[in-house]
Amino acid sequence: MSRISKMSVVERPSQRASKSAAVSKKAPPRDRSYDDDAFVSLFAHRGGRDIIIMDAQGVPLRSTSSQKRTLMYVSNLKPLLFMARNVVRDLDPSNDITFMRIRSNIGEIHMTLGSDFNLIVVQRFRRKFGTKQ
Amino acid sequence: MNRILEEVIHRNAPIVDRIIAEHTAGYVVADNMANAVAETSFDNTSAQALVKHLNGTLVPACQSVVRDLDPTNQLTYMRVATRKFEYLVAPEEYFTITVVQ
């Protein structure tokens, strides 16, 4: 645990505050290996903006953004994800949604629907015709 | 509006053939005004069901979500992956293209 805070303080102090705030506000706090933080920092370097991990009900467990923004994302995207799952089941009852990807002018949102968790990843494009990296 | 759409479809026919020759199961082109199927490679009933479900409910919901998150933004492309298929939905100004693969 000390290793996590040391790494975060060196690289991203603001994110460290939000991460610890996020973990403390959303109970119960989960302990993960520090591979999780390496994953998050690598992903942020590649143009990823936010990662939100939710459980199967759609309750956010961990997030890389502030509480307000996470709630905004989740309250908008969670019904959409469940609606998409219903649409797919309507079209073909044996089919089940695994992944959903929404792309707009500004960014891209990936949503994964697993058996016991959901994952949302938000990516932004840096410039209009620049590389997304 | 339908006339223009038919012209566009005829002009893009070789592209459509190339898309179909790839690893796809089919496509549906629907016009947004009437929510009706303009052209499809499926049979008509399943194409209509596809359009009604996807374009009628899911695409406007996605658009509203995207605009809620950022009002200047708009949905350009959407991709729903299931175990069997993957639906690629591209809503344009007047029509919507859906490809199933």
pLDDT computed for residue A126 by the predictor: 54
Cβ–Cβ gap B81/A95 under 8 Å: no
Q: How far is A90 from chain B (nearest CA, A)?
A: 8
Query: For A22-35, what is each residue's pLDDT tens digit?
Result: 444 444 444 443 44
**Do residue B80 and residue A105 have CB atoms under 8 angstroms apart?**
no
Query: Residue range A13-22: average pLDDT?
Result: 42
Please report residues of A whose CB lies closer than 8 A to that of B65. Answer: 76-77, 80, 102
The pTM of this model reads 0.66
Best of A104, A120, A121 to disrupt the B interface (most B CBs within 10 Å) is A104
Instruction: Go through the domains of chain A in sequence order and give each one's CATH number.
Output: 53-124 (3.30.450.30)
Answer whether residue A19 shows pLDDT above 60: no
Query: Which residues 56-75 in chain A show a CB within 8 A of chain B?
Result: 72-73
Residue, of A116 and A34, whose pLDDT is higher: A116
Alpha-carbon gap: B95 to the closest alpha carbon of chain A (Å) = 17
Tell me the pLDDT band of B18, cut-offs 50, 70 and 90: confident
Task: Choose, out of A75, A82, A88, the residue to mutate when testing the contact with B (most B CBs < 10 Å).
Answer: A88
Supply the pLDDT for residue B43. 76
Could you tell me the CATH superfamily of domain B3-100? Dynein light chain 2a, cytoplasmic (3.30.450.30)
Q: Where are the domains of chain B?
A: 3-100
Instruction: Please state the ipTM of this predicted complex.
Output: 0.71
- DSSP for A63-130 reads ESS-HHHHHHHHHHHHHHHHHHHHHHHHH-TT--EEEEEEEESSEEEEEEE-SSEEEEEEEE-SSSSS
